[in-house]
Chain A
Amino acid sequence: MTGEPAKSPALRFDAVVHSYGGRRGVDGVTLDVAAGSFCVLLGQSGCGKTTLLKTANRLLEPTSGHVFVEGVDVMSIPPVLLRRRIGYAIQAVGLFPHMRVRENIAVVPELLGWDRARIAARVDELLDLVHLPPAEYRDRFPRELSGGQQQRVGLARALAGDPAILLMDEPFGAVDAIERAHLQDELASLHLRLGKTVLFVTHDVEEALRLADTIAVMRDGRVEQSGSPLEILARPATPFVADLVGSHDALRLLAVVRVADALDGATSGSTSAPAGAAVRSDATLRDALSMMAQTGEASVAVERDGARVGVIGVDDMLAALRRITGDRGR
């Protein structure tokens, strides 16, 4: 795939319709997922997000329209071969209960015909990647793991064949809130590190805002709006989107605006800040506010690559929010 132009999307849904029993679960979705991006399909249950996801690896086939994976129509690829090159992770129930952790992870490499030594090495590498020490975990059965650990194994299994694209269907739905936050952080850092294209289904708005670089809000089988978390939150296209993502909630907005963005437009003269405490320029305004709450000051230093690049204050943050929501197209 190295010879392909960079602008070819990893996944392209072109006027995809899927109907079942007369009901259109997916009703004409056109959506590009850029290579290396983290795209979240967000919506309530029954909106068609899972159905759309499953057309990408032919667990479901479009009634009309086309799905392209790296430029190739999926209907021209035998389903079994297609699926082996696309990672697939679902809620923890999807682990094979009669197989050990290492056997679960080895499924795709075995299907791909890797030799034993390579598979064993890959299993350990992946367990390390998801923070499960191989010596301790590789021989366990799924029932001997916590929900969060099972989910890590599910992620490792999805990554085993080194797929360029990862499909994840509510993967963290079955774990508790604290563990979910851990898993989200780890998935975000894995995504940065591995450069995979991720298509992720969830009904959890916080999760979508936290992970996505693109969110497609779905309703009744259609994409209601797609864009960056900031665009969705600050400029919801319809009242439905505004309601769903809670765009009136300024704290949510703080969580998706980067300190660097607020600093760019800053005009106030906040220059003094307490020494020691600093936020990174790629942190969110929420992180900055949290830091201020800790230090008890109304401003905090900003650093990039360890060097101090400015100071951000509460007034800068409010100004940034006004600027972002001021041009709301409603």
Chain B
Amino acid sequence: MTYFLGHQSDVWLAVGQHALISLVSLVIALAIAIPLGVLAARAPAAGAPVLGVLGAIYTIPSMALLGVLVLVEGLGFWTAVTALVAYAQMILVRNVAAGIAGVDRGVVEAARGLGMGAWQLFWRIERPLATAVFIAGVRVATVSIVGIASVAAWVGAGGLGTLIFAGIDQGNDAKAVTGAIAAMLLALAADALLRALERRTAVSR
């Protein structure tokens, strides 16, 4: 507490960086995962290997992945974002695909039988009915991103990991703990926000 009160501007800066890395990663991850997930649901034959590859990426330790990415991209913000996007793919793609595949077969058949085209079927039926499962995936992915983003400090991208690593190096426990608690609170806040959204989408169906 005393560390936080004495270094408020440092802590807030780290929180801001951490949130920015997470948010940018999430947006890019979604832009890639949504089409991939729809594809995986449409063509399970193509979806299975995609999910296999993403699952394999997910199991690589974050330090190892960052190490490889540093060799390719060098240090910095975008290296961290690349790693976070890669990690989030597995959760997001799987949930998009599961959400669409989980829409009742009878409902889909009725929509086709009434004369909806492929796009109308997706936009008016599958998309709204898959939303709750999708948002649940976004929530889990976001919490993971916020958590793993602490490691991003290691490639010089800033964020709360900076406080944690510096605190450990300097033997400054208060600094490290402050960073850790802040990262935890940020993850909890994102989780609560998306939980609320999840409930709203579940109610409106």
Show the binding face of A for B, using Cβ within 8 Å: 57, 59, 79-84, 88, 90-91, 93-98, 107-108, 111, 157, 167
Contacts of A97 in B (CB 8 A): 104, 107, 129, 205
Give me 5 A-to-B residue pairs in the complex whose CB atoms sit less than 8 angstroms apart, sorted by A's number.
A84-B114, A88-B110, A90-B113, A97-B205, A107-B116
Contacts of B44 in A (CB 8 A): none
Q: Is B106 an interface residue (CB 8 A)?
A: yes
Assembled-state Cα–Cα distance A18/B141 (Å)? 45
Contacts of B106 in A (CB 8 A): 90-91, 93-94
Assembled-state Cα–Cα distance A84/B115 (Å)? 5
Indicate which residue in B110, B117, B128, B205 contacts A80 across the interface (CB closer than 8 Å): B117
Q: Is B10 an interface residue (CB 8 A)?
A: no
Contacts of A82 in B (CB 8 A): 115
Contacts of B8 in A (CB 8 A): none
Contacts of B120 in A (CB 8 A): 111
Number of A-B contacts (CB under 8 A): 57
A80-B117, A91-B106, A96-B111 given. 14 additional CB < 8 A pairs? A59-B109, A59-B112, A81-B115, A83-B112, A84-B115, A90-B109, A90-B110, A93-B106, A94-B107, A96-B107, A96-B110, A97-B107, A97-B205, A107-B111
Contacts of A59 in B (CB 8 A): 109, 112-113
Q: Is B2 an interface residue (CB 8 A)?
A: no
Q: Are the CB atoms of B125 and A96 closer together than 8 Å?
A: yes
List the 7 shortest-distance A-B pairs measured between CB atoms, nearest first.
A94-B110, A84-B115, A88-B113, A83-B115, A93-B106, A98-B205, A94-B106
Residue of A nearest to B117 (CB): A80
Assembled-state Cα–Cα distance A277/B205 (Å)? 53
**B195 CB, nearest partner CB in chain A, Å:** 20
Q: Is B204 an interface residue (CB 8 A)?
A: yes
Contacts of B205 in A (CB 8 A): 97-98
Q: Are the CB atoms of B113 and A83 closer together than 8 Å?
A: yes
Indicate which residue in B104, B114, B125 contacts A111 across the interface (CB closer than 8 Å): B114
**B160 CB, nearest partner CB in chain A, Å:** 39
Contacts of B114 in A (CB 8 A): 83-84, 88, 107-108, 111, 157
Assembled-state Cα–Cα distance A94/B204 (Å)? 18
Assembled-state Cα–Cα distance A236/B186 (Å)? 75
Contacts of A81 in B (CB 8 A): 115
Contacts of B104 in A (CB 8 A): 93, 97
Which of B104, B107, B120 gathers the greatest number of chain A CB atoms within 10 Å? B107
Contacts of A98 in B (CB 8 A): 128-129, 204-205
The answer to whether A111 and B116 touch (CB under 8 A), given A90-B109, A95-B110, is: yes
Q: Are the CB atoms of B116 and A57 closer together than 8 Å?
A: no
Assembled-state Cα–Cα distance A91/B104 (Å)? 12
B79-121 to A contact mask, C-beta < 8 Å, 1/0: 0000000000000000000000000101101111111110010
Interface residues of B in 120-146 (CB under 8 A from A): 120, 125, 128-129
Which of B104, B107, B110, B116 gathers the greatest number of chain A CB atoms within 10 Å? B110
